Structure formats: C-alpha cells, structure tokens
C-alpha cells in the first residue's frame, strides 16, 4: 500500500507525511528502508522517543495539538509544526527555536470542519495572528502555509467543500500577506480516507496513517 500511495503523491507533486502515531519503531524502519523520510506524530512524548531511536535524517512533523509547555521538548529537532492555533503558541515556539539556534517552519491550523471539537483558527483570527507576527518580527519562525482537517463523515461533497475552503484561505493569506514570501507554499490537507479529494482541491502535503500502516 505504501508504494502505491508514495507513487501517487510523487506523480501529483505532493509531499507525503507518513503518520506513524501509535506505531512501533520497527514499522517506521520498514518505511524508512523503502525511502520514506517524512513522518508525522501527534504526541510530543512519543515523537521525542522515536526521534531518539531513529536515523537523524528523518523529518519529524508534529501534526497534533501542541501544548505550550511542551514546545521545548521538540524545538531541538522538529522539522515542521502543523498545528499553530494561537499567537501565544507561536511566540513560545519562536522563543524555543531561538534557544536552539533554529528557524522552525510552521503551518497555521484552520477550523474547516463542521464539527465543534476540532482545533483551529478562523480566517479573521489568523489575520490578527499574522499582523501580530509581522509587528513582532519573529526571526525563529517561518510560516509556510496552512493545515486543516475535514469533517469525519462519509459525505464526500462536504469534505470536498471543506478542502476548497482551506484552499481559498491559503490564497487569501498568500495574496494579502505573503505574496513576496517564497516559503509560504504549503496546504496540508488530506488523510487516508480523503487524500485524493484533497489533492484535487490543491493540497501540497497529505498526512496519511492507517492507509499505509494499517488500522490503529
Ligand atoms: C491521525 C492523523 C492523521 C492520519 O489519519 P489516517 O486517517 O490514519 O490517515 C492525519 N492528520 C492528523 C492531524 C492526525 O491526527
């Protein structure tokens, strides 16, 4: 299954984040041997433990909610944080990146699903955040794009329209704030059940777990 999905992403010029949460080291090693280098985790402790045990050319992406007091544990090594959902969190990541003499690439997470429970910003909230970010000129953060999760539903039209919304948010922010910024390029959307729809709607980065590793 991995080979097919990796080839599909490659053909469509989309980055594949292999979501390895809850999966053992051995499962990651198997994919690593097949050439995969980007892995996604949603818990700080689990990601840190795996980082310590695995080859150092793996790019670790934090895709789950990040608690402010835990940013320090991943700041030394994380390759991208997909889940920035407040200015306060951005400030803390900037500080921790500075302490580690790094620039950490991040994505702004948007609430695009109809469900109440998912984390994420609205478009106006993100505009406030970006304006504050510009004023404070954070030198240890790079905002590289947006991330979102569609509703947990079998209604494919709804999923597609939510991805379409995220693409529009990206285009709006790009035009208003990042038109000269060559790093603002990423739209992280699409999981095992919906990554093909996400790619049709403009995804540049899909986060696929169970379709690669099997059920959790
Ligand atoms: C678990 C998870 C995924 C992967 O989900 P699958 O359905 O297993 O592909 C993607 N994104 C986030 C934020 C996740 O927590």
Q: How confident is the model at residue 61 (pLDDT cuts 50, 70, 90)?
A: very high
Whether the CB of 64 sits within 6 Å of ligand 1? yes
- Which carries the bigger pLDDT value, residue 163 or residue 1? 163
pLDDT digit string (tens) for 157-213?
Answer: 999 999 999 999 999 999 999 999 999 999 999 999 999 999 999 999 999 999 999
208 close to ligand 1 (CB < 6 Angstrom): yes
Instruction: Report helix, strand and coil shares of the chain as percent, to nearest 5.
Output: 45, 20, 35
C-alpha–C-alpha distance, residues 21 and 213, integer Å: 10
Instruction: Determine the atom of ligand 1 nearest the C-alpha atom of 17.
Output: 10
CA distance from start to end of the chain: 16
Tens-place pLDDT, residues 106-159 = 999 999 998 776 689 999 999 999 999 999 989 999 999 999 999 999 999 999
Task: Give the distance (Å) from ligand 1 centre to CA of residue 92.
Answer: 25
Reported as a pLDDT band with limits 50, 70 and 90, residue 55 is: very high
- 3-class secondary-structure state, position 21: coil
Q: Which one, of 36, 48, 39, lies nearest residue 76 by Cα?
A: 48
Distance CA 154, CA 135 (A): 42
Cβ of 81 below 6 Å from ligand 1: no
149 CB within 6 A, ligand 1? yes
Q: b/e string for 84-122 if b means 16 or more Cβ within 10 A?
A: bbbbebbbbbbbbbbebeeebbbbbbbbbbeeeebebbe
Give the residue, 103 or 1, on which the prediction is more confident.
103
**Sequence-distant (≥ 6) Cβ neighbours of residue 212 within 8 angstroms:** 1, 2, 5, 18, 19, 31, 192
Chain segment 79-95, per-residue pLDDT in tens: 999 999 999 999 999 99
**How much is the pLDDT for 56?**
98
CATH topology assigned to domain 2-213: TIM Barrel (3.20.20)
pTM of the shown model: 0.97
Looking at residue 183, its pLDDT comes to 97
């Amino acid at each position: 299954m991995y080979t097919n999905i990796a080839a599909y992403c490659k053909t469509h010029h989309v980055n594949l984040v292999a979501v390895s949460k809850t999966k053992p080291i051995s499962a990651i090693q198997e994919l690593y041997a097949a050439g995969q280098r980007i892995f996604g985790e949603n818990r700080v402790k689990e990601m840190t433990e795996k980082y310590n045990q695995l080859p150092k050319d793996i790019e670790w992406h934090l895709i789950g909610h990040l608690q402010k007091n835990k940013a320090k544990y991943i700041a030394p090594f994380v390759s991208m944080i997909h889940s920035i959902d407040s200015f306060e969190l951005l400030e803390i990541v900037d500080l921790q990146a500075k302490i580690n003499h790094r620039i950490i690439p991040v994505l702004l997470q948007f609430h695009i699903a109809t469900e109440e429970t998912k984390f994420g910003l609205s478009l106006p909230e993100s505009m406030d955040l970006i304006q504050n970010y510009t004023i404070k000129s954070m030198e240890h953060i790079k905002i590289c794009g947006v991330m979102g999760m569609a509703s947990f539903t079998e209604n494919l039209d709804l999923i597609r329209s939510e991805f379409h919304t995220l693409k529009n948010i990206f285009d709006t922010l790009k035009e208003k704030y990042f038109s000269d910024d060559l790093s603002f390029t990423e739209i992280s959307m699409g999981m095992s059940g919906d990554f093909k729809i996400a790619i049709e709607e403009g995804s540049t980065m899909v986060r696929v777990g169970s379709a690669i590793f099997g059920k959790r």
